[in-house]
Amino acid sequence: MIENRAIWLKTAITCAVAAGKAILEVYDSADMVVEKKADNSPLTLADRRSHDIIVAGIAGFGIPILSEEGRNIPFAERKQWSRMWIVDPLDGTKEFIKRNGEFTVNIALAESGRPTMGVIFVPASDTLYFADLDLGAFKIDSWEKIGAGEKKPGEMDDLEALVEKAFRMPLRHEKDRPFTIMGSRSHATPELEAYVETMRHHYGEVEFISSGSSLKICLVAEGRADVYPRLGPTMEWDTAAGQAIAVASGALVVRHDDGSVLAYNKENLLNPWFIVKRP
């Protein structure tokens, strides 16, 4: 891993954790104000604070940024980008509003339409996932517990030390568990129900786990689940970081219709239906 990539990943981790801490300040406040975006989806102060922290932290590398909060960049400009950050400052806003803890901060680096680096921080559980395709995929169960939370951003452990404190994914889990499917907590569809039923006919016993945000992809990357079929709409910033982490863990992220790899920086930023699965 060349030096500048290590710096990019370390900075993305620092930004994701800092943004997550800012999100928790809003999450724990007594009065949560919710606005509506142009597409009628919810927006909170936490989204904006997280976005500002992340952009301020990664802007100095001269790599363009595509974010949910800055989505209106013309394709004529974007298509010139061979490398880009893809950011979702608060993935799972509905779960955030419900206060169930299933929301994340997502930062990815995409190169030539492929996510090659990803960071996902889960503020409510203090859990960090990070990956680079050349390095592998890793999980830290408690950022504060390893002592990283006591350091100022510029004093964070170097990447090699951080990797030594992390668990490499996939993790070891019980081999005799049933075939496990991840599904959306807030976006269930008839197509998903049909998919689960098909898997029951094929595997017999099937466990279905509902979860919010990019946690679904992370559990497949961990090896705790076998597949996450997303048979409904998502945007590129919803999936880029998770895809990098899943692929670095040895999982596959492919289109549902033709099995090709899920691509990024398309003219239309809406993802096709896709499947995340262990091979």
The string of pLDDT tens digits covering residues 55-82 is 999 999 999 999 977 788 999 999 999 9
Check: CB of residue 232 under 8 Å from CB of residue 273.
yes
* pTM of the full structure: 0.92
Instruction: Find, among 70, 73, 56, the residue nearest to 12 by Cα.
Output: 56
For residue 154, pLDDT beyond 70: no
Q: Residue 262: its pLDDT value, please?
A: 96
Q: Which of 72-86, 137-151, 167-181, 248-262 has the lowest mean pLDDT?
A: 137-151
Q: Residue 31: its pLDDT value, please?
A: 66
pLDDT, average across residues 260-271 = 96
CA dihedral 50, 266, 133, 210 (to 10 degrees): 60
The top-scoring range by mean pLDDT among 58-72, 143-157, 262-276 is 262-276
Confidence of residue 222 (pLDDT cuts 50, 70, 90): very high
Compute φ and ψ for 245, nearest 5 degrees.
-70, -45
What is the Cα–Cα distance from 118 to 101, expressed in whole angstroms?
21
Higher confidence at residue 47 or residue 173? 47
For residue 174, pLDDT beyond 80: no
Confidence of residue 153 (pLDDT cuts 50, 70, 90): very low
Architecture of domain 3-168: 2-Layer Sandwich (3.30)
Paired residues of 253 in beta bridges: 276
Q: Residue 108: its pLDDT value, please?
A: 98
| Structural tokens at position 235 | 């945007």
pLDDT, average across residues 131-156 = 79
What is the Cα–Cα distance from 38 to 191, expressed in whole angstroms?
27
Per-chain mean pLDDT for the chain: 89
Pairing status of strand 65-67 against strand 83-91? parallel
Check: CB of residue 214 under 8 Å from CB of residue 119.
no
What is the Cα–Cα distance from 162 to 242, expressed in whole angstroms?
19
What is the Cα–Cα distance from 273 to 279, expressed in whole angstroms?
19
Q: Residue 36: its pLDDT value, please?
A: 61
For residue 94, pLDDT beyond 90: no
Confidence of residue 158 (pLDDT cuts 50, 70, 90): confident
Side by side, which strands form the sheet with 274-277? 206-211, 179-184, 227-230, 274-277, 252-255
For residue 9, pLDDT beyond 50: yes
Compute φ and ψ for 9, nearest 5 degrees.
-65, -45
What is the Cα–Cα distance from 21 to 70, expressed in whole angstroms?
21
Helix 215-222 / helix 236-248 crossing angle, nearest 10 deg? 10
Domain locations along the chain? 3-168, 179-277
What is the Cα–Cα distance from 102 to 156, expressed in whole angstroms?
26
DSSP 214: T
Confidence of residue 146 (pLDDT cuts 50, 70, 90): confident
Instruction: Find, among 278, 272, 210, the residue nearest to 246 by Cα.
Output: 278
What is the Cα–Cα distance from 191 to 247, expressed in whole angstroms?
25
- The percentage of the chain sitting over the pLDDT mark of 90, rounded to a whole number, equals 70
- Residue range 179-277 forms a domain whose CATH class is alpha beta
